[in-house]
Amino acid sequence: MFDNIKCSYKLPIEKDFSKEVFQTKNTPAQWLDHYEIREDGTLWHENYDTEDQSDPNEIGFKRFSGCCTKVNKRWEFVKDFIGEIRFYTTYNSDKCCIEFSSYFVNGILKELHLIRDEELYE
């Protein structure tokens, strides 16, 4: 799986990706969770509780729909995170890929680098 991450912090490139939602496989959750790197360089996670909202009267796969519904969503500062988060996306009609590396200490961004920005195929 992967998580989604939005970066409001100024990226080290000229292109504007401020509205982009990137993917990452370096965050603790890895359950399609949402993270943000805010303008001040802090790392935030959309935490939540789960509840079973599935319908036991349904048949087959539909019976499991809603079994892990996210409720009571709230944003929390990830104060204990130390390490690297790489995040990436495609753009230009999925012809190009861009990837960044960010390094955090206690949930605060210390370094942010462009890893690659390239065409995927000609």
Domain count within the chain: 1
pLDDT at 71: 78
The H or E element containing residue 27 is none
pLDDT at 99: 98
pLDDT at 66: 66
Residue 114: strand pairing partners? 100
pLDDT tens-digit profile of 54-68? Answer: 777 777 777 667 666
Residues in contact with 120: Cβ distance below 8 Å, sequence separation at least 6, in sequence order: 90, 94, 95, 96, 97
Cβ pair 88, 98 in contact under 8 A: yes
pLDDT tens-digit profile of 33-61? Answer: 999 999 999 999 999 977 887 777 777 77
CA–CA distance, 2 with 88 (Å, rounded to integer): 11
Token reading at 108 = 């605060």
φ, ψ for residue 42 (rounded to 5)?
-90, 150
CA–CA distance, 88 with 114 (Å, rounded to integer): 10
Residue 2: how many CB atoms within 10 A of its CB? 17
Give me the domain span that covers residue 91.
3-119
Question: Global pTM?
Answer: 0.84
pLDDT at 33: 94
pLDDT tens-digit profile of 72-100? Answer: 899 999 999 999 999 999 999 999 999 99
Residue 36: how many CB atoms within 10 A of its CB? 19
